[in-house]
Structure 1
Amino acid sequence: MWDINTNSLLALLQWCDSNFPSGAFNHSFGLETYLQEGLVTDAATFREWLTVYLNEQLVYSDGLGCRLAYEALDEGRMEELWALDRLLTVQNLPWESREGVRRIGERMIRLAAELYEDPSLKQYRDRILRKRSYGHPAVAFAMVARLMQAEKPTAVLACLYSSVSSMVQNGVRAIPLGQTEGQRLLMHMQPALLQAVEAVERLTTDDIGIVSPGLEWSQMKHERLNTRLFMS
């Protein structure tokens, strides 16, 4: 287990808050397809879907991206960081999901650059404005976590938890589930989140984008659903 200081804990709690205005509440990243096809209908089936989403997509995108971004920042390899931003974006094949992640990342970077006096954050924001970078939540989390002197595993955990927490809230609205059931689900996901952090540590850059075909297919099919609550 790793240590975490109070300042970094408070900063990361702010970024993981479901009220943080990242726009994640607008996106289901394919969950809505499973809902309309009758494959996710209650808390039990949603937990199955969420576990697959964490282990078969988030680990190989946001989790691994956050770890690699943290390492690049730690060693001052900024060109590698910008290359990672591009790689994380272009490997996301479904258009809606790719655009959704880009919008969330862009908003997070803009907010971070306004909240913290950090040259790297401002450089990232400027690159996005000049269309030289896309913006990705995993890179944003790594930048803020490192700025707050949080340990690398903590940064990865916060990044993964934020995505899972947002998805739980969206599931509570869409299935629908009670708020208590949503909190119970988040509690049950805690061991899986810790295991996901350990899995991320064993991966390499070559593993970016190894996503379950079923998840990608559901995200592509979302574009053609008859009725939609979410943008992706």
Structure 2
Amino acid sequence: MNTQALLSLLHLTSPSLPIGAFAYSQGLESAVEMGWVNSEESLHEWLSPILSHAQANLDIPLLKRLYTAWQADDLAQVQYWQQVLLANRETRELLQEEQKLGLTFYRLLGSLGIGLPVQAREFSYLVLFAKACVHYGIDIHGCCSAWLWAWLENQVAAACKTVPLGQTSAQKVLLAMMPEIEQAIEHGLAVHDENIGMTLPAFAMASAWHETQYSRLFRS
């Protein structure tokens, strides 16, 4: 990866990227409320199956297909895979996060001078993230690494606020899950079309419960 592509990759994963991803916990706040996550170890236990099943079987395979579709300027394929993606966001909270982040990311890309088709205003976050990676010349492995790292860093940051988790413990979780990210990418890039999808009932229930949680820091 050349220096400009690497810098663009770091830019896309920066916590300072003004899209509002920090405002969502994806059900983690409910898991903390119910006592499922209350330590460094339990946080790792919560995040690991989400990475290896949800991200590796849904987000990464779709990221690969969206990346290829953007390379070919095939908007029909982009729209098709977005429909698959949104159908697999199992709760209103997860669906709205995907769509609202997509809208803010769309505005950001436009302000940065990245040419987008008229339909792009309706595209969600993952879809436009693939477009940004193609635009900046980031290869598919870099694209997947950036996506998973941004997700993981955001989840650990949410845990720091809700468990609460100390900074050292947070760094230990990040380091421990780095090899799992590599495994998730290898698995996800090999998933066939008919196997794209996820089933994590506890994750979906925690996200749904978060929508009516009495006291919360993160958006639903």
Counterpart contact for 2:93–2:207, Cα < 8 Å: yes
- What RMSD, in angstroms, separates the aligned Cα atoms of the two structures? 1.6
Deviates more, 1:60-69 or 1:146-155: 60-69
Within 5 Å, give how 1:1-232 maps onto structure 2: 4-118=1-115, 122-123=116-117, 126-127=118-119, 129=121, 133=122, 135-232=123-220
Segments of 4+ in structure 1 off by > 4 A?
A: none
Q: Where does the alignment leave 5 or more consecutive residues of structure 2 unmatched?
A: none
Q: Where does the alignment leave 5 or more consecutive residues of structure 1 unmatched?
A: none
Counterpart contact for 1:172–1:179, Cα < 8 Å: yes
Which digits, 9 at most, give the CA deviation of each residue in 1:87-146, with x for residues without a partner?
21132120011101211122112211221332xxx21xx4254xxx3x322222211111
SS class of match (2:211): helix
CA spacing shift, 1:114–1:203, aligned 2, 3 Å: same
Deviation of 1:205 after TM superposition, in Å, equals: 2.9
Q: Which amino acid in 1 is paired with 2:151?
A: S
CA spacing shift, 1:61–1:104, aligned 2, 3 Å: farther
**TM-score normalised over the length of structure 2:** 0.93
Q: How many aligned residue pairs are there?
A: 220
CA spacing shift, 1:113–1:48, aligned 2, 3 Å: same
Distance 1:28 1:72 in 2: 30
Deviation of 1:170 after TM superposition, in Å, equals: 0.9
Deviation of 1:64 after TM superposition, in Å, equals: 2.0
**TM-score normalised over the length of structure 1:** 0.88
Q: Which amino acid in 2 is paired with 1:79?
A: A
- Identity %, equivalent residues: 25
Counterpart contact for 2:66–2:127, Cα < 8 Å: yes
Q: Which amino acid in 2 is paired with 1:156?
A: C
Counterpart contact for 1:64–1:208, Cα < 8 Å: yes
Distance 2:43 2:148 in 1: 17
